[in-house]
């Protein structure tokens, strides 16, 4: 229970920091008309898209032939980060999709000792030499526009 209390306190502190720094002063804001608003362009940091079971882009519906959302059709929600994400991480154990239909202690994804880093000295520098190891430690894995997709039955 104590570990959750620390987690909640950390999340509260992080949320306060993020929301506290995101503000706009009314003296710098100006009203835009509909035509000005439609002429404005920009890019979002995060995007959310949905593919309905009835959508032609839904390949699962084409495979199963079920297009009715209330009769077992599967819809897809895709949450994307529209940015270049660079990671250099070591994860002792990564577990995703645990419990549920898998039963207790079973996971869809269960990986031990996962490392994400960039290339070493060259594209073929996957040797066990000290030079290649040091080069990999000093570089990051680059993910361009990463996303996660959720499949929802009967959306």
pLDDT at 148: 92
String of DSSP letters for 75-107: EEEEEEE-SEEEE-EEEEEEEEEESGGG-TT-E
Distance CA 64, CA 71 (A): 12
Distance CA 155, CA 150 (A): 11
Q: 22 phi and psi, to 5 degrees?
A: -100, 90
pTM for this model (two decimals): 0.55
Distance CA 45, CA 150 (A): 19
pLDDT at 22: 55
pLDDT at 16: 61
In order along its 155 residues, the chain shows pLDDT tens digits of: 455 566 666 666 656 655 555 555 667 778 888 888 878 777 778 999 999 888 888 888 878 777 676 666 888 999 999 999 999 899 999 998 888 888 888 999 999 999 888 876 666 666 777 777 777 787 888 899 999 998 888 87
String of DSSP letters for 120-134: -SSTT--S--HHHHH
For the chain, give every domain's residue range. 43-153
């Amino acid at each position: 229970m104590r570990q959750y209390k620390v987690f909640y306190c950390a999340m509260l502190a992080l949320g306060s920091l993020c929301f506290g720094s995101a503000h706009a002063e009314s003296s710098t804001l100006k009203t835009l008309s509909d035509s000005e608003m439609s002429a404005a362009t920009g890019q979002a940091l995060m995007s959310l898209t949905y593919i309905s079971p009835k959508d032609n882009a839904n390949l699962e519906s084409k495979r199963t032939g079920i297009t009715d959302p209330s009769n077992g059709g599967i819809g897809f929600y895709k949450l994307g980060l529209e940015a270049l994400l660079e990671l250099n991480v070591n994860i002792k154990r990564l577990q995703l999709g645990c419990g549920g239909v898998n039963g207790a202690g079973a996971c869809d994804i269960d990986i031990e000792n996962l490392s994400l880093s960039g290339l070493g000295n060259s594209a073929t520098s996957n040797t066990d030499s000290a030079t290649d190891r040091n080069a990999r430690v000093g570089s990051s894995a680059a993910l361009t526009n990463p996303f996660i997709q959720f499949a929802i039955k009967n959306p």
